């Protein structure tokens, strides 16, 4: 029986499906941990295939590849630290989400996830079979209680492990970022510690995967419920924790990280989400329309912070309605960010469509049709650049607009990825002011200002006709976002939202816009989740929907 143990926490950034590449990341992390003198290296959930693997798990060839890598990695543990890794794993014709202890050259123990999350962004019951509530694993004479991610969010698995003699709880995770989620995770961890009297190691993966981004933010909670070690969020890192058996249980010592503010967390989620989407899908860079407005300005700043200025291409596409202010502001943003800015005027496209459609539109007043054609001319221009040179088009619409359908299909909605899809306009204002004064770790953009103050303070306008502002069509953004948060994140009924102090007629109007715009959101590009209810798979309303009685 050992009275000391060195456990490394490996917060790595796997790529879903890249089993060979992930094996390299695992080996590199293990080599670092070996240098530090680790007995055991703990990785995140399903680190062999990346999380979430979704329907790849339904493919036999994929499972073969994962299992082959597990056996190769196991064979490498004849000497040096053991590893607790995660992989899909077949047993008696069923596929499980497993944690595997690799030690002494073999798969020394297998533990299966008991609670499969099947809500929000998670669909695990679709591809995995739940395992039985697991017993502890004996490792160098110490009984480790392994819970896999969702298993920590309930009391039963930890309770069983405690009753069967576990001494330290170890939790590999694939827990996607949401603003304010770090506190929720730690609360669940503290509850399990309080119920069992056992310390807990929480290891999460880091990096972006389609609409999800993982912040890492791994930590250790001691038997008193105190966080005694934590890893910096948003970075791959291997950290050593030293454990000593004492009269009242295992004591842990490890390094601490600096706390991160709420806005910094959201900003980093956008940066890391975009960086990994672009690099993991092997784009040479991104292109976006830079209007001089705040949405495209913050998108450009995020892109530069994620990829570096040389990978971000901005295009100003003025129309006859574009103000001098917008032209100046777009130029100023490009200067501050040090990015390429081209100007492509859309006047000729507008004139060409007017001429082409004149016979069909004769006798009809100019209306939103012509406005949308401008937006589509810009979308076509960006898609043309993307096709010709390869950069992916960034879509700049924010969550307030996506909620209300305040965006043009095949116009400003076109693109490969939407940086602000889950970020309300009021948060866009806050993030823009914040980024002008802070450059978070790992960001590649300028230390100082990224946009002139005027971009933040001027009234938002689509500039699709003279003197237009967003507030001609939408309620003021403070009011709109307050209502939307109640309807979307809060799932409240109209009377419940009104009871919060909002105007009845405005709430009903916003609710109708939200409901009606479902068809647009279904055609929108993916974008990083930062809230507790993002659009996409986490909010599945029917498009054809005659149910109105919720008001």
Ligand X SMILES: Nc1ncnc2c1ncn2[C@@H]1O[C@H](COP(=O)(O)OP(=O)(O)OC[C@H]2O[C@@H]([n+]3cccc(C(=O)O)c3)[C@H](O)[C@@H]2O)[C@@H](O)[C@H]1O
Q: Which residues are catalytic?
A: 45, 113, 149
Contact 219, 237 (CB under 8 A): no
Q: How far is CA 416 from CA 393, 413, 526, in A?
A: 6, 9, 7
What span, in angstroms and rounded, lies between the C-alpha atoms of 312 and 286? 5
Residue 368 vs 551, nearer CB to ligand X: 368
What span, in angstroms and rounded, lies between the C-alpha atoms of 533 and 513? 18
Q: Does 527 sit near ligand X (CB under 6 A)? A: no
Encoded tokens for 44: 């995140």
Residue 175 vs 426, nearer CB to ligand GLN: 175
Q: Does 47 sit near ligand X (CB under 6 A)? A: no
**181, 134, 183, 141: which is closest to 159 by C-alpha?**
134
Residue 461 annotated as part of some ligand binding site: no
Q: Does 207 sit near ligand GLN (CB under 6 A)? A: no
Encoded tokens for 350: 């507008």
Render the burial of 367-380: b for 16+ CB within 10 Å, e for the rest.
Answer: eeebbbbbbbbbbe
What mask, x for binding ligand X by CB under 6 A, covers residues 353 to 372? ---------------x--xx
Among 25, 48, 73, 149, binds ligand GLN (CB under 6 A): 149
SS3 4: strand
Residue 391's binding partner among ligand GLN, ligand X, ligand ATP, none (Cβ under 5 to 8 angstroms by kind) is none
What mask, x for binding ligand GLN by CB under 6 A, covers residues 289 to 328? ----------------------------------------
Residue 294's binding partner among ligand X, ligand GLN, ligand ATP, none (Cβ under 5 to 8 angstroms by kind) is ligand ATP
- In the complex, the residues that contact ligand ATP under the rule CB under 6 A are 288-291, 293-296, 315-318, 322, 378, 396, 401, 412, 460, 462-463
CA geometry: angle 538, 540, 543, nearest 5 deg: 150
Residue 448 vs 459, nearer CB to ligand X: 459
Among 407, 414, 497, 498, binds ligand X (CB under 6 A): 407
Q: Sheet of 417-418: strands edge to edge?
A: 340-343, 312-316, 286-289, 392-395, 417-418
Smallest distance, Å, CB 534 to ligand X?
19
Q: Does 426 sit near ligand X (CB under 6 A)? A: no
Smallest distance, Å, CB 88 to ligand GLN?
13
Residue 519's binding partner among ligand ATP, ligand GLN, ligand X, none (Cβ under 5 to 8 angstroms by kind) is ligand X
Residue 119 annotated as part of some ligand binding site: yes
Would you state the torsion angle of the CA atoms of residues 339, 345, 349, 354, taken in this order, to the nearest 10 degrees? 140
Contact 529, 176 (CB under 8 A): yes
Residue 56 annotated as part of some ligand binding site: no
**Where is the binding site for ATP, in residues?**
289-296, 396
């Amino acid at each position: 029986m050992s009275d000391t143990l060195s456990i490394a926490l490996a917060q790595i950034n796997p790529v879903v499906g890249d089993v060979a590449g992930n094996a390299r990341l695992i080996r590199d992390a293990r080599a670092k941990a070996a240098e530090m003198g680790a007995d055991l290296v703990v990785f995140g959930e399903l680190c062999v295939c990346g999380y979430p693997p979704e329907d790849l798990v339904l493919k036999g060839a994929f499972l073969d590849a994962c299992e082959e890598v597990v056996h190769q990695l196991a064979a490498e543990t004849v000497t040096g630290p053991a590893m607790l890794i995660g992989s899909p794993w077949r047993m008696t014709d069923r596929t499980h989400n497993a944690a595997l202890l690799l030690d002494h050259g073999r798969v020394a123990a297998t533990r299966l996830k008991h609670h499969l999350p099947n809500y929000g962004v998670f669909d695990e019951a679709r591809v995995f079979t739940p395992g039985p509530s697991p017993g502890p694993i004996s490792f160098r004479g110490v009984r480790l209680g392994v819970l896999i991610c969702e298993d920590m969010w309930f009391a039963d698995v930890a309770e069983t492990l405690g009753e069967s003699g576990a001494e330290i709880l170890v939790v590999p995770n694939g827990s996607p970022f949401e603003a304010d989620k770090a506190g929720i995770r730690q609360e669940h961890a503290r509850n399990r510690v309080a119920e069992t009297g056992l310390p807990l190691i929480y290891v999460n993966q880091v990096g972006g995967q389609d609409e999800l981004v993982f912040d890492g933010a791994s930590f250790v909670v001691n038997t008193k419920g105190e966080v005694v070690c934590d890893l910096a969020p948003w970075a791959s890192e291997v950290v050593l924790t030293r454990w000593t058996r004492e009269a009242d249980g295992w004591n842990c010592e490890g390094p601490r990280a600096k706390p991160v503010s709420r806005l910094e967390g959201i900003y980093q989620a956008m940066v890391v989400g975009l960086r990994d989407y672009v690099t993991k899908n092997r784009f040479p860079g991104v292109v976006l329309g830079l209007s001089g407005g705040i949405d495209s300005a913050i998108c450009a700043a995020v892109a530069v912070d994620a990829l570096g200025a040389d990978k971000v291409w901005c295009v100003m596409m003025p129309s006859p309605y574009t103000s001098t202010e917008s032209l100046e502001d777009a130029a100023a943003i490009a200067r501050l960010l040090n990015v390429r800015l081209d100007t492509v005027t859309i006047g000729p496209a507008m004139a060409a469509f007017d001429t082409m459609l004149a016979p069909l539109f004769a006798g009809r007043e100019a209306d939103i049709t012509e406005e949308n054609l401008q937006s589509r001319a810009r979308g076509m221009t960006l898609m043309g650049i993307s096709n010709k040179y390869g950069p992916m088009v960034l879509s700049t619409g924010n969550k307030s607009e996506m909620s209300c359908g305040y965006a043009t299909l095949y116009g400003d909605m076109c693109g490969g990825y939407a940086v602000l899809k889950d970020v309300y306009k009021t948060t866009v204002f806050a993030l823009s002011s914040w980024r002008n004064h802070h450059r978070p770790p790992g960001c590649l953009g300028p230390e100082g200002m990224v946009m002139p103050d005027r971009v933040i303070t001027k009234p938002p306008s689509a500039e699709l006709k003279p003197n237009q502002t967003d507030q001609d069509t939408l309620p003021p953004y403070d009011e709109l976002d307050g209502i939307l948060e109640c309807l979307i994140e809060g799932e409240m009924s109209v009377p419940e939202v009104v009871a919060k102090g909002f105007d009845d007629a405005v709430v009903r109007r916003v609710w109708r816009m939200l409901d009606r715009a479902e068809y647009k959101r279904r055609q929108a590009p993916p974008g990083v989740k930062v809230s507790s209810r993002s659009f996409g798979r986490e909010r599945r309303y029917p498009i054809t929907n005659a149910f109105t009685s919720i008001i």
